[in-house]
Amino acid sequence: MVTFATRNAKNMSVVTQIKEAAVKAISHLYGINLQTQDIQVNATKPEFEGDYTVVLFAFVKQLKKSPDALGKELGDTLLAQNPALFTSYNLIKGFLNLCISDSYWLHFVEREYTNTGFGNSKSNGQRVMVEYSSPNTNKPLHLGHLRNNFLGRSIAEILKANGYEVSKTCIVNDRGIHICKSMVAWQLFANGAIPADTNTKGDHFVGDYYVKFNNEYKKQVAELIAAGKSTEEAEKEAPVMKAAQQMLFDWEAGKPEVIALWQLMNSWVYAGFDATYQRIGSDFDKTYYESKTYLLGKDLVESGLAKGVFFQKADGSVWIDLTADGLDEKLVRRKDGTSVYITQDIGLAEQKQKEFNAGQSIYVVGDEQNYHFKVLKLICQKLGLPSADGIFHLSYGMVELPTGKMKSREGTVVDADDLVEEMVAIAKQKTEELGKVKDFTEEELTDLYDILGLGALKFFLLRVDPKKKMVFNPEESIDFHGFTGPFIQYTHARIKSILRKSGMAQPPANNNLPKANLLPLEKELSIQLEMFPAILQDAAIEHDPSKVAIYAFNLARIFNSFYAGHSIGNAENEEKKILRLQLSQLTARVIKNGMNVLGIRVPERM
RNA sequence: GGACCGGUAGCUCAGUUGGAUAGAGCAGCUGCCUUCUAAGCAGCAGGUCAUUGGUUCGAAUCCAAUCCGGUUCACCA
């Protein structure tokens, strides 16, 4: 338990300081000891005077005081006990509006404007694992995968900024019937062609054969039905489907030519994925392959049976009864002795525990698997795996089109590579229209288009609460104005330009801190900047990058108002000029650090 | 049928440990570049917070019911 006295007030947010001051004041006044969580502090509404507001209703009953009497006593005591923090208060209908002293904000800016790591926490020694991306090797990545990749990468960076040691992992689904379908189609239709022959990325190349398989399958089913078969029979007997099933059987038997083809086609896919990952900034400390992990967990079924966690049915199949937890019975081993999907996940959870020993293991997986992960965690807990309580499913909603869900069979899937290139092309077009960077080299321009195009795309997908499904409209594409990545990137470039023109490598320290004369826009910007560390913490606790995205947008918006309202380089006097340059530099830094945890770069010029 | 998630402005989304007159962006309409980047700023307009009831000083937020949409409950992965 850290006490107020031993904590460094400099590193504590204003809101926390207000809460602690209120706890202390209430204890002093009424002899009642509250926790900081009991104190509700909000930003003061703009129409009232003040910066932060303590909501009094919560204590009115407990302290048996009228809101007015309580507010007056609390307000007076807060001011008396914290003369450096508060300058005045006013009381409106149970809301205690507090004015924070300008010198508090001035000292904050003075202290932090050169701190390149502002917002980051020191190492806390805790280890976290983030599993994300997790593609199938039968088709290329699409828009939904992009949301997954950006979320995974971002949550890893957010946790790092909060002092965690983070390992990123990926599990590649490189085996199973879907891969066999691509293999069968390739044998039937490719005439030995390889990706290089058609100038196609390997993942797209293999994906094309997956589509060809499905087309052929549909054709064969239709023919069989026309020949008098029932739909069910036709689907079962279609020659390509039988071939795919035989392929899977041969794969599991280790038939050399099947393994060789499988390895060859997967190698094409990996080359394609690597290119995409490099482009979008995904990387992994360790990649697992299902072909190597799919047999994991079998020993855990045995030990679970011995412990009585699992039970065996008459046919030999093994189950767990989760009805007491409000779920159903769940199969963990088939009657033929083979594993099911969840068995390998249990085994992999154990293996990850052994390899990484992380206190928290985050799985970035779509919300259609909510039930699966609820079951997985429960089973691991019942088996007593040490990692069980640390399992966290970072569940995210589907990306939908205005017409509904994306369906690969109907060709309505938005391809990841295509979308990235489209965004970069739009960035190029808009940049050329504005004509502000005509002196850039070819290389600098290419880099700028990447920064902007990918920034727009990432921000679009990260600005929404992960839990919620979201809509992407390909007709409207993604905007570069308003609540967007480029808007924030633009603000950064704008600040950098101002700083360059100030003629100083860095604003000097302000020896003459002006007292109590912050203008409203200067103060609003200071308050917003001060929140950044708390926002980063909140984003980590909630596993929610959108908190950072929304914050960064609001910061940029406030800066732009500040910029429009006040001259920075030609301020009224030297103190103001220094202060505004410091504010500008700190804003640029916070934008950069905030965007960085979203995986978005910011340009010096645009 | 059971479980879970969602429904807020024309569109896309914030806001939900209960707090003041529900906020942004886009789209629409007005203004603002001979001073630091107009990918910007200022303003106007736009709402039965799905519906009904309840809890209380106070409900978009909590509870119940209903309507609508989605996911899931495979000896699939």
Residue A515 contacts strand B, CB under 7 A? no
Cα(A352)–Cα(A571) distance, rounded to whole angstroms? 57
In a domain, A352, yes or no: no
Amino acid whose CA is nearest the C1' of B38: A434
d(CA A112, CA A110): 6
The pLDDT tens digits of the residues spanning A363-395 come to 999 999 999 999 999 999 999 999 899 999 999
Is residue A94 domain-shared with residue A192, that is, in the same domain? no
**Nearest nt (C1') from A568 Cα:** B36
Q: Looking at residue A8, what is its pLDDT?
A: 46
Round and report the angstrom distance from CA (A318) to C1' (B72). 22
Q: What is the ipTM of this complex?
A: 0.96
**In the predicted structure, residue A411 carries a pLDDT above the cut 80:** no
Q: Mean pLDDT over all residues of chain A?
A: 92
CB A496 within 7 Å, strand B: yes
The answer as to whether A211 is a domain residue is yes
| pLDDT tens, position by position, A275-305 | 999 999 999 999 999 999 998 999 999 999 9
- DSSP state string for A348-416: HHHHHHHHH--SEEEEEEEGGGHHHHHHHHHHHHHHT-TTGGGEEEEEEPPEEBTTBS--GGGT---BH
Q: Are residues A485 and A582 in the same domain?
A: yes
Find the nucleotide nearest A434 (Cα to C1′): B39
Given a contact cutoff of 8 angstroms between Cβ atoms, the answer to whether A96 and A53 are in contact is yes
pLDDT tier at A515, thresholds 50, 70, 90: low
Please tell me the predicted confidence (pLDDT) of residue A7: 39
A176 touches strand B (CB under 7 A): yes
Question: How many domains is chain A built from?
Answer: 3
The protein footprint on chain B, as nucleotides within 7 A of a CB, is: 2-6, 11-17, 19-21, 24-27, 35-42, 57-58, 70-77
pLDDT(A323) > 50: yes
Q: What CATH number is attached to the domain comprising A590?
A: 1.10.730.10
pLDDT at residue number A458: 97
Instruction: State whether A89 and A200 are in the same domain.
Output: no
The answer to whether the beta carbon of residue A290 comes closer than 7 angstroms to any atom of strand B is yes
A90 CB neighbours strand B below 7 A: no
For A23-33, what is the mean pLDDT? 91
CB A495 under 7 Å to nucleic chain B: no
Question: Are residues A236 and A91 part of one domain?
Answer: no
List pLDDT tens digits, range A250-276.
999 999 999 999 999 999 999 999 999
**pLDDT score recorded for residue A387:** 87
Are residues A456 and A574 both part of a single domain? Answer: yes
What tokens does A411 get?
């060709």
* Last-in-domain residue among A250, A283, A316: A283
Classify residue A66: in a domain, yes or no: yes
**Lowest-pLDDT range, A214-218, A313-317, A400-404?**
A400-404
Which nt sits closest to A427, CA to C1'? B39
Q: Output the domain CATH number for residue A44.
A: 3.30.1360.70
Tokens coding A30 = 């009424």
Mean local confidence (pLDDT), A524-532 = 96
- The gap between A55 CA and B22 C1' (Å) is 19
pLDDT score at A63: 80
Q: Stated in angstroms, how far is A580 CA from B20 C1'?
A: 32
Residue A318 lies in a domain: no
Checking each nucleotide's C1' against the CA of A580, the nearest proves to be B36
| Cβ-based burial of A384 (10 A; exposed 0-12, middle 13-18, buried ≥19) | exposed
Distance of CA A434 to the CA centre of its chain: 32
Q: Which of A283, A317, A343 is the last residue of a domain?
A: A283
Same domain, A225 and A78: no
Same domain as A50, residue A199: no
pLDDT tens string A81-132: 999 999 999 999 889 999 999 999 999 999 999 999 999 999 999 999 999 9
A74 touches strand B (CB under 7 A): no
Query: DSSP assignment, residue A175?
Result: -
Minimum-distance nucleotide, CA of A55 to C1': B19
| Residues 414-443 of chain A sitting with CB below 7 angstroms of strand B | 427, 430-431, 434, 436
- Helix ranges restricted to H, A484-573: 485-501, 520-530, 532-542, 546-565
pLDDT for A3 equals 31
The arithmetic mean of pLDDT across residues A234-261, rounded, is 94
Q: If 0-12 CB within 10 Å is exposed, 13-18 middle and 19+ buried, where does residue A247 land? A: buried
Confidence of residue A187 (pLDDT cuts 50, 70, 90): very high
A134 touches strand B (CB under 7 A): no
Amino acid A516: pLDDT:
52
Q: What is the 3-state secondary structure (H, E, C) of A470-497?
A: EECCCCCCCCCCCCCHHHHHHHHHHHHH
**Is residue A533, in this structure, part of any structural domain at all?**
yes
Burial class (CB in 10 A: 0-12, 13-18, 19+), A329: exposed
Residues 179-218 of A with CB under 7 A from strand B: none
Q: Is A276 domain-assigned?
A: yes
Q: Give the model's confidence band at A185: pLDDT under 50 very low, under 70 low, under 90 confident, else very high.
A: very high
Tell me whether residue A356 is in a domain: no
Same domain, A189 and A46: no
Q: Which of residues 339-378 of A touch strand B (CB under 7 A)?
A: 340-342, 367-372
Q: Token pair 């926490």 is at which residue?
A: A121
Q: Tens digit of pLDDT for each residue in A54-90?
A: 999 888 877 888 888 999 999 999 999 999 999 999 9
Query: What CA–CA distance (Å, rounded) separates A144 from A134?
Result: 12
Strands ordered across the beta sheet of A286-289? A286-289, A165-172, A127-131, A360-366, A391-396
Q: Phi then psi for A382, rounded to 5 degrees?
A: -70, -30
Query: Would you say residue A426 lies in a domain?
Result: yes
Percent of chain A exceeding pLDDT 90 equals 83
Q: Are residues A95 and A237 in the same domain?
A: no
In single-letter form, the type of residue at position A522 comes to E
Q: Which has the closest alpha carbon to A133: A366, A351, A340?
A: A366
* pLDDT computed for residue A5 by the predictor: 34
Whole-number Å distance between alpha carbons of A197 and A561: 55
Interatomic distance A181 CA / B19 C1' (Å):
58
Give residue A10's pLDDT. Answer: 57
Residues 135-174 of A with CB under 7 A from strand B: 173
Same structural domain, A422 and A567: yes
pLDDT-derived band at A514 (thresholds 50, 70, 90) equals low
**CB A28 under 7 Å to nucleic chain B:** no
Closest nucleotide to the alpha carbon of A502, via C1': B36
Q: Of the residues A100, A115, A145, which one is the last residue of a structural domain?
A: A100
Q: How far is the CA of A169 from the C1' of B39 (A)?
A: 36
Identify whether residues A421 and A532 lie together within a single domain.
yes
Strand partners, A404: A401
The answer to whether the beta carbon of residue A313 comes closer than 7 angstroms to any atom of strand B is: yes
Nucleotide nearest to A487 (CA to C1'): B39
Average pLDDT of the segment spanning A163-192:
95
Distance A45 CA to B9 C1' (A): 22
* Through-space separation of residue A577 CA and nucleotide B10 C1' in angstroms: 45
The range of the structural domain enclosing residue A92 comes to: 9-100
Give the tens place of pLDDT for each residue, A454-504. 999 999 999 999 999 999 988 888 999 999 999 999 999 999 999 999 988
Q: Does A441 share its domain with A575? A: yes
**Å: A396 CA to B55 C1':** 33
The reply to whether A124 has its C-beta less than 7 Å from any atom of strand B is no
Nucleotide showing the shortest C1' distance to residue A395 CA = B5
